[in-house]
Structure formats: structure tokens, C-alpha cells
Amino acid sequence: MAKTNAKTNESTASQTRFKFRARVTVADVVAIGPGKVSLLEAIRDHGSITAAARSMDMSYRRAWLLVQELNKAMRSPAVVSEHGGEGRGGTTLTEEGEAVIRLYRQIESIAAKACKKEIDSLLALLQ
């Protein structure tokens, strides 16, 4: 039985990680957070809100509402959509949208490096 516990502990330890979940709020609305940044990345990768939502197992309506919230909070929109037609439209990120992704991921990286000792100590308290 001890052998199984050791194996389970080893497996659990390899799956244990610390993840930052930073959020920027405007009033009571999360303007920028991990979900919106992931959605921006998916829109960039897939070229449409529909495909991005599908890739994240999210409804189109939910994705559209998140994009609307984000765009409303920004000085300039992060996402622009072109209506259908011969090219069938699509959705692209603006420079501001690209900057949101870049800066958010950079902040995560810097924070993780700055807190490495504390994160390692915290994780050491887990099984």
C-alpha cells in the first residue's frame, strides 16, 4: 500500500503547479482577466469569434459578450469584426488587443519569476 501512495504522491506532485489569475477591474466589471486574454488568443489564432468560442467550449453569445465588455473598457477596441460578404468577414485583433495579450502574459511571467521562492515554498506544503 505504501508503494501505491508513493506512486500517487509522485504523480500528484508532477501535476501540481501554481497559476496566476490576475484581473483588472473597471468599476465592478472584470475588464481584463485570464479568460478574456485566452479568448483574445483564440480569436487571433482562429480569425473569428465563432471558431474561438468553439475551440474553448464556449457559446458564441458568451464569447461575444466578453469581447463587448473588453472593447467597452478599452480606450480603443481590442477586437474588430468585419461583416460577411465575399470574404465572409472575420474578426481580428487590433494593436491594442495584441498589446493586452503581450502585456498580460509578460506580467504573469515577471510575477512568477519574482515569486518563485515563495511559490516553491507554498507548493512544498502540499502532498
Query: What is the rounded distance in angstroms from the CA atom of residue 31 to the CA atom of residue 41?
Result: 16
Domain containing 119 — which CATH number?
Answer: 1.10.10.10
Query: Vertex 87, ends 68 and 54: CA angle to 5°?
Result: 45
Q: Is residue 54 part of a domain?
A: yes
On whether the CB atoms of residues 21 and 34 are closer than 8 A, the answer is: yes
Q: Is residue 64 part of a domain?
A: yes
**How many folded domains does the chain comprise?**
1
Q: Is residue 7 part of a domain?
A: no
Q: Is residue 52 part of a domain?
A: yes
Averages of pLDDT over each 10 residues, the chain, 127 residues: 50 74 90 96 96 97 96 96 68 96 96 94 90
Given this model, what pLDDT does residue 1 score? 46
pTM tops 0.75:
yes
On whether the CB atoms of residues 55 and 99 are closer than 8 A, the answer is: no
Q: Which domain holds residue 72?
A: 23-124
